[in-house]
Structure 1
């Protein structure tokens, strides 16, 4: 079975581009630039399915504090970037964020206690991550690197989901003893993305539009290469590089929070195509798990799309709703199905 941390070769897919234009040098950053609360759940969709990626939660804190707190992963992330990226040049802006959260996956039938080998396995991740975003505005390019450390298979996540299901009056899952890496197993992931503005413009009535494309590689419990495009249309007041829905990986959305000088309202959408080589949530990791899939039982290419709306007020408070869909990850059997989930984002920028 394919195992994590082996494919360092994927990092080299972006290496020539890195030498063509390196990330910007760090500039002064405010201690606290804001926070963001993300809640994903399949009940936040027109049809509640309660399966596959069934929910996630994360809290992001941005600003210089994310890099300087004693428990920050930024020193380790910075060390990895120093090894993989060329020396920084220019006078670009550097932004930081720290995120903690959890991700939950379940099969379709959650009332069965025994292992369901024909369906998606139970899986969970409790994690903390740091993100560094290097912006080169003169080139319309932004580099984003993220390091995530987490634990798969904790009973704590199962207990939290049981409590949530009791609150909403839903069926409590009974098969968590069969989850991936049951009992707990350390894991990690490093991702590198190059985002570039393609075009933008306005119509003279205050409405604007912009489109970006992003190439990203990820190595660890999720190992893949992806490319996608994102567009937003409306009253745009935040810079293009602060809008990056294509950097999302299930519950993980750790990007710095940026405030507009006034209120803004816009619709947004996009897509990304992922060439995926490894997914610990389906294939397991080093510990034995009751239900896993071999690499040749999984789809190599996965398409993800999204559509959302965002309102930011003059106070810096921002509210968003997004609907995301993803093509099947498992090639055959009852678990071979597309998935859909909704997300609510509440943030405050300073």
Structure 2
């Protein structure tokens, strides 16, 4: 009976992946129609606490596909949204050199309590929850010194997010015990998050093609999934720093866009090491506050949350890029026994 259940879960997960692939193919067609002057980039982002530590708790798993178009043709109809945002003062200045790109995203995040062996989880521990989403981002790099990012994510929280089969089928595949409390996960609820952020680059060239830069950032996110304000920044050392503004990440996080501009590479190989911090003032977090419109498990969240992150990025021309990083996150709810720690590994391929 258990084998049949597992097979059913696997079929559900495969159907979800197939839908995601079909959606991605549609996105590529849209990107071509947008009049992009160069090929795009596909980025795969994996975040997990067990990459470095033998834990399976809190924010335990995140996976996302991000497709970044090439520069949008200024004479194309797809440039109009950027012009509208520019007229509102949100995206750069009309006189400046700019690179405008669309970003398309599909991802899933999984949250569990600390003790996953209990079939009836501790009501004072973090609730089980999944978040399956897709979205679109508008990204503009102005004079290689300012990056504006407007992003809309829509999806579902609850059993429809397929977090239970994603986690437990994988656990069975690698021989790890199932998380037993998924019957108490948050209920199904449509979710939306609208985010806007701005980053500034202050760069100092060094000898031999090396440089250091500082990238402060401010941003805000609103929606029934999460609502928060953020402030932070990163410090980087390496080569070809102007090609991006930091490693791709899954929201909420420091940096977080898949933006990369191969036209700004001074030579084929680039790399950097980085460290940074971000603070968030949190008004809403459905994964802690519980469902919006009906009763569910919930805990008392911490209003102020901070991340300390660091990592390394390697890239070869426009073709391929590898990122690896680590994040230490302060306690997010009252009674949390320990801070969250998780790592990320990213792969980007240019077309």
- By the TM > 0.5 criterion, same fold? yes
TM-score normalised by L of structure 2:
0.78
| RMSD over equivalenced CA pairs, Å | 3.1
**Which residue of 1 is the match for residue 292 of structure 2?**
286
Q: Is the 8 A contact 2:247 2:257 kept in 1?
A: no
Change (3 A) 1:168 1:81: farther
Matches of residues 2-13 of structure 1 in structure 2 within 5 Å? none
Q: Is the 8 A contact 1:130 1:254 kept in 2?
A: no
Q: Is the 8 A contact 1:272 1:303 kept in 2?
A: yes
Change (3 A) 1:188 1:118: same
**Which residue of 2 is the match for residue 30 of structure 1?**
37
**Which residue of 2 is the match for residue 213 of structure 1?**
216
Count of aligned pairs between the two proteins = 307
TM-score normalised by L of structure 1:
0.78
Change (3 A) 1:244 1:160: closer
**Which residue of 2 is the match for residue 338 of structure 1?**
339
Instruction: Provide the rounded CA distance (Å) in 2 between the counterparts of 1:62 and 1:144.
Output: 13
Instruction: Provide the rounded CA distance (Å) in 1 between the counterparts of 2:129 and 2:349.
Output: 31
Identify which of 140, 154, 162 aligns with 2:159.
154
Per-residue displacement from partner, 1:289-322 (whole Å, max 9, x unpaired)? 43112xxx32111110111111112462111111
Matches of residues 1-350 of structure 1 in structure 2 within 5 Å? 29-30=36-37, 32-45=39-52, 47-63=53-69, 89-91=94-96, 92-137=98-143, 140-155=145-160, 156-180=162-186, 182=187, 184-202=188-206, 204-220=207-223, 221-234=225-238, 236-239=239-242, 241-243=244-246, 248-249=251-252, 253-259=256-262, 260=265, 261-293=267-299, 297-314=300-317, 316-331=319-334, 333=335, 335-350=336-351
What SS class does the counterpart of residue 164 from structure 2 fall into? Answer: helix
The answer for unaligned runs of 5 or more in structure 1 is 1-26, 68-73
Q: Which has the higher contact order (CA 8 A, sep 6+)?
A: 1
Change (3 A) 1:346 1:223: same
Per-residue displacement from partner, 1:19-77 (whole Å, max 9, x unpaired)? xxxxxxxx9733632110011111111x222100001110111106999xxxxxx99x8
Change (3 A) 1:58 1:127: same
Instruction: Provide the rounded CA distance (Å) in 2 between the counterparts of 1:242 and 1:103.
Output: 23
Change (3 A) 1:82 1:285: farther
How far did residue 165 of structure 1 move? 1.0
